[in-house]
Structure 1
Amino acid sequence: MVNVIGLGYIGLPTALMLASHGIEVVGTDYNNDIVALLRSGKTSFKEKGLDELYKKAVEANIKFTNEYQITDIYIIAVPTPYDKFTKKVDPCYVITAIKSVLDVCPKGATIVIESTVSPGTIDKYVRPTITEVGFEIGKDIHLVHAPERIIPGNMIYELIHNNRTVGADDIVVGEQIKNLYSSFCQGEIVVTDIRTAEMTKVVENTYRAVNIAFANELAKICRYDGLDVYEIIKICNMHPRVNILQPGPGVGGHCISVDPWFLVGDYPHLAKVIDESMKTNDGMPDFVLNRIYEIMQENNLTDFSRVGLYGLTYKENVDDMRESPTLQLLESQKRHLSKGLKVYDPFVVQDVVENQYHNLDEFLDGIDLVVIMVAHDEIKNRLDILKEKIVFDTRHIYKGDCYSL
């Protein structure tokens, strides 16, 4: 049996995938509401294919509980935030989960950490936590780091098809965990040491963050000099060794907007490019807000209540708002003492900000300037309804006359 600890964006799909492929699974979460919801037959967030996977897992007899189980394999998939001042990883949730596992696990158990951590976190925090209670690592407890590699909006497909990395102290234990993931993963699974696994996951997200920052900086340069950044990127990407990503209003989610800071926090005198790249990305919501001011001035708009932000989530077609550029922009707006911006997102059904709408037509009726912050399919399929509006498109999806980054 496998006990999956943490039933959020990573733990739940992993638990359901294992269960639906013949592995006995118990999912554990400290949050009573999440456990109750899963027991009632509902999933706790929206994701393409998740409800169907949930049904298969329930048919295979997956269980959900607040209690840690006595078993041989534990998969820990709890959040790993970072300290916004030091930029270092905060391992508190991982350590709490480890301690709870150690309270019940038998000797010889394997603890697999899926949570993304900075290089050296397992040596610095996890190993001491285990040895302090008298367990010998490699004998009483086996440690593995198998960082997830999936993205909201395409989790189910990527769980099956993406390559994976398994870091382990013992190659035999690493191969055992590789076989466990092979029950559903069709991608290549590489077995390596733990520190290498820690570093590779963070480096993957850092590479993407730096690439996005280059595109964002290029957008600012092109804006300054009256050039079309999208045309320039398109032409540059025709070169066989160039692949510039698209600029945007900021970077959200719990990976690209967070993981690179781990390297900045741990290697402050070395991670200079990474540090500047993250500052560039973090500055994009302010850049967008300043563009809104410029566009309002150009069109003689003085009332912020006539401006609407389309999209609250951090990416298209998901309900995940973690580190959302729109939320960052709204916070920045408060600091600028301007109020009244209207907001709408088809995937956010609860009120989370002021002046939030839950109907697209009602949202559009009350505004003159619409700012496309997220490229949900809903708006991509109905772009014609914006033809009477002033459009500021930060996602490069609108085909008519509009303002861009």
Structure 2
Amino acid sequence: MENKFKRISVIGLGYIGLPTAAMFASRKIEVIGVDVNEAAVDTINRGEIHIIEPDLDMVVHAAVHEGYLRAAIKPESADAFLIAVPTPFKGNNNEPDLSYIQAASDAIAPVLQRGNLVILESTSPVGATETMAKWLASARPDLTFPQDAGGGSDIRIAHCPERVLPGKVMQELISNDRVIGGMTPQCSELAASLYRVFVTGECVLASGPRVAEMAKLTENSFRDVNIAFANELSLICDELAMDVWELISLANRHPRVNILQPGPGVGGHCIAVDPWFIVNSAPQHARLIHMARQVNDSKPDWVVAKVREAIGSYLLDNPNKSARDVSIAIYGLTFKPDIDDLRESPALTIARKLVEGDYGNISIVEPNIDSISGLFERSDVLLNQREKDRVADIGVVLVAHRNLDLEKSKHSYLVDACGAIKA
């Protein structure tokens, strides 16, 4: 079947937008990526990437140099627009902030043409796609939209959330099923035909965008609840002087039990954020989801308390020293192993709290980032010292990166928040 889409525009060139743009471009389709970050735009137009994701650099380099991918600051006309911008919180109240989606809508509205398809890929609270459609209709009264004209509208609109794992994005974009919720059946079918350009998984049509939005939130809330169970077990085992890693290993020998591994908390823009969208939309019913969020959000403070206990024990062993003499080595800042993504990272939260303490030398071992400029209030925090110099009184392992070389480090006390020593 002939491809209806000759030019695609991806709005937002971050951890999802850029891989998606590169994937379409690898299928010999012209792709214009749009981002407000001029440095990222310049980097991409050189055939390079500004994020860490395995295999992405090769695909982007080839697509740019073959002329199928280019980046720009402002949107241009296209057959389809995919919006992949952040959906953070408003302040500290866990209320979803749709301002990035609104800004993207305002940006593409002037270049929309009859027959265009607009897909919201951003993970969003229920109703966000319909809200976006209203923003677009208000900006372009000369065009018709699904909420008013149904299947015969000038512009087709759908929601299709990403469902990929950082570190495996390039594979999972192709192989994972896609949930597509169009505002009309015609919108769904057109969106599915677009994704079938490279998706080998099934394109499953939901009954509408609200169900598709809720599906993504449900997937991540399910994972959050299960992680909270493991994190709660770690607190209980510490109280009862047990090894949580041994306990989980033994419990998982049951054929119908598969407990996840505890950690310092939950990070990333999905699992740490999406459950709050459900809680915000139905607070009186989302009791379990709410409690899981509270368990996982409180874990960083518990880890900090364990580090302070270790410091106290060290000072008891060394009465001639004060807190200002204590050196701390922190292993890992990202929200999960082997990536450079710091979004909602509990490790970064813990590191910041420790840096705020009145301690001596603090060093960070994070092999996936090159600079910590602006991350901490103190300017004397060291990053990625040479292995032979990694000697500290207290070691704090927060992320189980494969290349930390923990066996080469020496510490009087070690707090392992993620089971890296036992891995």
Query: Same-fold call, TM > 0.5?
Result: yes
Instruction: Check whether the contact 2:400–2:420 (CA below 8 A) recurs between aligned residues.
Output: yes
Which of 339, 350, 356 is matched with 1:318 structurally?
339
Matched-pair contact (CA < 8 Å) for 1:251–1:282? yes
Structure 2 residue corresponding to 1:303, chosen from 313, 323, 331: 323
Which of 94, 97, 101 does residue 87 from structure 1 map onto?
94
Q: Which residue of 2 aligns with 1:375?
A: 400
CA distance in 1, matches of 2:222, 2:90: 21
The offset of 1:387, in angstroms, is: 5.8
Show the 5 A alignment for 1:262-301.
Answer: 262-300=277-315
Q: Which residue of 2 aligns with 1:403?
A: none
Q: 2:413 aligns with which of 377, 390, 393?
A: 390
Who is 2:144 aligned against?
A: 136
> Alpha carbons of 1:129 and 1:308: their partners in 2 closer, same or farther (altered >3 Å)?
same
Aligned with residue 104 of structure 2, among 97, 100, 104: 97
1:255 — aligned with what?
270
Deviations 1:189-222 (A, max 9, x none): 2011111100000111111111111110111011
Other-structure match for 1:359: 385
2:81 maps to 1:74: yes
**Within-5 A mapping of 1:118-267:** 118-123=125-130, 125-133=131-139, 134=141, 135-138=143-146, 139-192=153-206, 193-267=208-282
Q: Tell me which residue corresponds to 1:332.
A: 353
Q: Contact 1:86–1:265 at 8 Å: present in 2 too?
A: no
Question: Counterpart of 1:350?
Answer: 371
For residues 20-35 of structure 1, the aligned pairs below 5 Å read 20-35=26-41
Greater mean alpha carbon deviation, residues 209-218 or residues 36-45: 36-45
State the distance in 2 between where 1:34 and 1:336 align: 35
Counterpart-to-counterpart distance in 2, 1:388 and 1:32: 43
Give 3-state SS (helix, strand or coil) of 2:214's partner.
helix
C-alpha change, 1:326 and 1:340, in structure 2 (3 Å) is farther
Deviation at 1:171, TM superposition (A): 2.1
* Distance change >3 Å, CA 271–CA 360, structure 1 → 2: farther
Structure 1: distance between partners of 2:74 and 2:161: 24
Q: For each residue in 1:332-361, what CA deviation from the matched residue of structure 2 results, as whole angstroms up to 9, or x when unmatched?
A: 346766675332211110123341322242
CA distance in 2, matches of 1:183, 1:74: 15
* Distance in 2 separating the partners of 1:391 and 1:85: 32
Q: 1:337 to 1:296 in 2, by over 3 A?
A: closer
Q: Are the structure 2 counterparts of residues 65 and 25 from structure 1 closer, same or farther at C-alpha, using a change threshold of 3 Å?
A: same
Distance 1:75 1:345 in 2: 33
| Cα offsets for 1:135-189 (capped at 9, x unmatched) | 4212122111010111221111111221111110222332222222122222122
* Conserved 8 A contact 2:395-2:411: no
Offset, 1:270:
1.4
- Distance (Å, rounded) in 2 between the aligned partners of 1:244 and 1:148: 25
Query: Which is worse superposed, 258-267 or 177-186?
Result: 177-186
Gaps of 5+ in 2: 1-6, 147-152
| Alpha-carbon separation, structure 2, partners of 1:399 and 1:145 | 42
1:245-282 per-residue CA deviation (whole Å, 9 max, x = no partner) reads 11001111111111111111111211111111111111
SS at match of 1:343: strand
Alignment check: 8 A CA contact 2:323 2:358 kept: no
CA distance in 1, matches of 2:168, 2:393: 34
Gaps of 5+ in 1: 401-405
d(CA) in 2 for partners of 1:137, 1:121: 15
Amino acid at match of 2:86: P
Q: Residue 5 in 1 paired to residue 11 in 2?
A: yes
User: Which amino acid counterpart does residue 307 of structure 2 have in structure 1?
Assistant: I
- Read off the aligned partner of 1:398 and give its amino acid letter: I
SS at match of 1:299: helix
Amino acid at match of 2:84: A
- Segment of structure 1 superposing worse, 138-147 or 174-183: 174-183
Q: Is the deviation greater in 69-78 or in 290-299? A: 290-299
